[in-house]
């Protein structure tokens, strides 16, 4: 086995010490951060209405089907099908066991909201 040894051929001069001064990152002055702008109520508090049509057997995911069936089978005391929020719908679907997911249930509703409205299962109020 070979061993490598290194011997400097020349003596190096010592490194001169230089003083480093901190420079400002930006010359812009920030006095205050503006508050976020709220434009509406949000999807969880928006009101929806069930139109009354049930889906066919094909072309629906189980989660989308669970949302529609939850509204159609719900009693008037559980949820009002003429005026409900996304939060009300998904909480009832989870409570009944129609919707089981590892994600936030409101996220599931937001994903399918446009398709449910476009295909006339729900209407926005």
Beta carbons of 67 and 60 less than 8 angstroms apart: no
Say whether pTM exceeds 0.85. no
For the chain, give every domain's residue range.
61-124
pLDDT of residue 27: 65
What are 43-96's pLDDT values in tens digits? 557 899 998 777 776 778 889 889 998 998 888 888 888 899 989 999 999 999
The listed range with the strongest mean pLDDT (21-30, 48-57, 105-114) is 105-114
Nearest to 81 by CA among 117, 111, 49: 49
| Separation between Cα atoms, residue 91 and residue 104, nearest integer Å | 11
Beta carbons of 45 and 85 less than 8 angstroms apart: yes
């Amino acid at each position: 086995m070979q061993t490598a040894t290194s011997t400097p051929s020349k003596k190096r001069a010592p490194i001169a010490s230089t003083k480093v001064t901190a420079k400002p990152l930006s010359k812009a002055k920030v006095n205050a951060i503006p508050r976020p702008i709220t434009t509406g109520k949000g999807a969880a508090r928006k009101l929806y209405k069930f139109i009354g049509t049930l889906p066919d057997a094909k072309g629906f995911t189980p989660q989308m089907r669970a949302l529609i069936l939850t509204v159609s089978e719900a009693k008037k005391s559980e949820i009002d099908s003429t005026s409900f929020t996304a939060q009300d719908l998904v909480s009832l679907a989870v409570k009944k066991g129609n919707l089981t997911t590892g994600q936030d249930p409101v996220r599931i509703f937001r994903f399918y909201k446009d398709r449910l409205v476009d295909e006339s299962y729900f209407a926005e109020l």
